[in-house]
Every structure is written in structure tokens, then in C-alpha cells.
A and B are shown apart, each in its own frame.
Chain A
Amino acid sequence: MMTLAQFVELLDIHGADPARWPDPSREAAQELLAANADARAVLAGAADFDVLIARHYRRASPHAGARSEEQAMVRVLARLEAPLPPQRRGLLPRLLPAALLEFDLAPAWPRFAALVGIAVLGFAVGLSDAGMAVTKKSASAIVGTPASSDSDLSLILFEPDPLSAMR
């Protein structure tokens, strides 16, 4: 049988309307409701909550303020009355329609996140041993001598030029 905690979880996920509950859970929940007064009280509280939120949206719905809503619609439709821009056509959209469209209309943040992630990864690789190993190979290739040890390499890479001009 469903526990009271599981029933509370069900209400938090699906709300108080049994029609929205998944079939297997509905049966178990109804058994619990028949046997447990606490479950019935929890259901009543969840129903009050649903009614409060749904009523809020119903009262603030377009139909409640039909006149201002009509005005908003007229404004948007008036802007769309202007000559519409040419539609996107061509071969590429036909070849990759769904993927392109989803990517084009997706939120901007995943692309920014990917860009930042790549930048951070590049920076981390540059600072890490892996990046340094690449630099060592490049340096030895340029200098023409194998890098015999880390200290030799650091001399090549980080030894500052003498400030001869300052003397």
C-alpha cells in the first residue's frame, strides 16, 4: 500500500486532481484515501492550493479583462500588418529542417555556456601539465635540441632576456 509520504509526493508532482495521477498510483492512492484520514486531510489541503492558484490565473486571464486584452491583441496584430519579411527558404533548411529549427529557436544560454566552457577548458589545458608538455615539444622542436629536463626547459622558456640596453 502507498505510504502517506508517497501520497504527499504524488500530490506535489501531479496536483490534487486524480485525473492527472498516473493509473498505477491512482489505484494505490485511492486505497490509502479510503483507509487513512490524514491522507484525506492532505488531499483537501492540496485541492485548496490548486483552487487558489487556478483561480488566480482564471481571474487574471484574458477573459477577465477582455477589453484590455483586445487592445493588446489589436496592437500586436497591427504591428504584424506591416509587410512581412521574406521567409527563410533554400536547400539547407530542407536538408536539416528539424535540427536547425530547434537550434535556431533554443534559448541563448546553452550556447553561451558552451562558449564559456570551451574557453575555460582551453585556459585550464594551457596552464596544466598537458599544455606544458605540448609547449615543451614545440620548444624543443624550435630550439632543435631535445629537452633533457624540466629545469633546462624552464631556462629556455622563462629565462628573461638580459637588460643589456639598460646598462
Chain B
Amino acid sequence: MTAVAEDRFPRADWELRIENISKNFGGLQLFRDLSFVLDAGNIMGVIGPNGAGKTTLINVICGQLPLSSGKIYLGKRDVTGLPPHTLSRLGLVRSFQQTNTFKLATVRENLMRAMRFAGSGPDTWNLIDDLLDAYELKARLDEVSDSLPYGLQKMLGLLLAYVTKPKVLLLDEPAAGLEQRERGNVDRLVMHAQENIGCSILIIEHDMELIRRLCPHIIVLDAGNVLAAGAPDEVLSTRSVIDAYVGRSDDDD
């Protein structure tokens, strides 16, 4: 696993700290007193059975849903309750599980919009140049995003989040819907981010292999709480974690 990059980047405030957050919805308690820390520059995985509240977690961290209680810190700054666009400008950016692009716009327009809305500057094109090559998107810059195959649309969605030059990047099931041979693209993006931006990355995933490859540290969410935390191999062989998965219909494609 790649070690954390040396301090080339101003990373002091690129830590994401979640403190005792709870989320109730109607009669449902999605999580209670949940706490964890994503250290600056690290990559952390979040796994757990379906319905454990993983997507709600991202929605809550990114300001799309309000917290019932608790605090969220980006570095030293308390960002609890801030709206999505403010969080994004502060460097806390997410990707979406469903392909989330501007479907009627071309690939180029999509990326331009992302750079413009995030204020990340025209040199961002240089940043993603080799990724565009690798994903074979370079030749398709002027194609309408909706006409791309699903896998490429998904990668475009990830790129949109990436070109905002985030400090903390939250990936919501980046590999969902991708074919096995396409999953390496996610690895490529994560590596690229580590080397070029050094942002902290949180990955929510069902693909255990991907998690093992990319995340030196993972937490397991079950019934709204952290069931276990640690290195993947350790955690995945813990009895309680295995139990949590048994009996749940878990589509691990």
C-alpha cells in the first residue's frame, strides 16, 4: 500500500473528523454517535451491509441532509450544517453513486463547468491530461455525455469531482456498475490523486478487492455504528464483521 506522500502539500487542514453524529429520519435511526477520523492525506474505506446508512453518511457529511446531532470538522474548522456549495468550495467534494454528469452537455463542457464552479483554474486540464488519455476520453471530448457507455460516464463523474482539486474527496461506490476490467480505472484515479494533489480520500464500496487494494485503513458500518476499524485483512476476518454480512442480500459484483 502506498505510504502517505511526504509533506509536499499543505495538508494540515485536510483532515476530516466526524464526532458523535446521529441521524434520525421519521422513526428511523440511521446512525447514532458515530465517530471516526480520516487523517490528512490518507485513504480510508467504508464498508458495510446494505441499509447500514453508508450513502446517508455521505449525504450528511456533504450537507445534503441535516444532522440530528454531532459535529463535523474539516481540519480545525467546524463545518457542521454548511450547505453543499460552501463545503465544496472549502475542499470537501463528493462523487455520486448513480452516474452523475450533466447528461446533455459534452464531456468538455462537463469538465469546464466543474472547473468553473469550483474555481480551480485552467491549468486543471494539464492535471487530468494523462487520465483523459488513459480513460480514452480525450478523443471523445466533444461527445454528449449521455452517449458515452456507462463505464465512461461513471469515470467522467469521478473526474468532475476530481477537477475541483479537493482537499477531502468522498467517493460513493465508485466501482458500482463497472465491469471487472474497468475497475482498475478507479485505482488509477486514486493513485493519481495521491501523487498529484495529496487529498484525503474516503471510499464507500462493496467491492472488497478494490478496498483491499487501495485502502490501508477501513471501517465497517453496521446498523448505524462502527462495528470494526483497522487494516482490511484484519477487519475482514473478524467474526462480528463476517456475521454482519451473513444473511444479508449483498450484491457484490
Decide if A and B are genuine partners: no
| Chain A residues within 8 Å of B, Cβ to Cβ | none
| Chain B residues within 8 Å of A, Cβ to Cβ | none
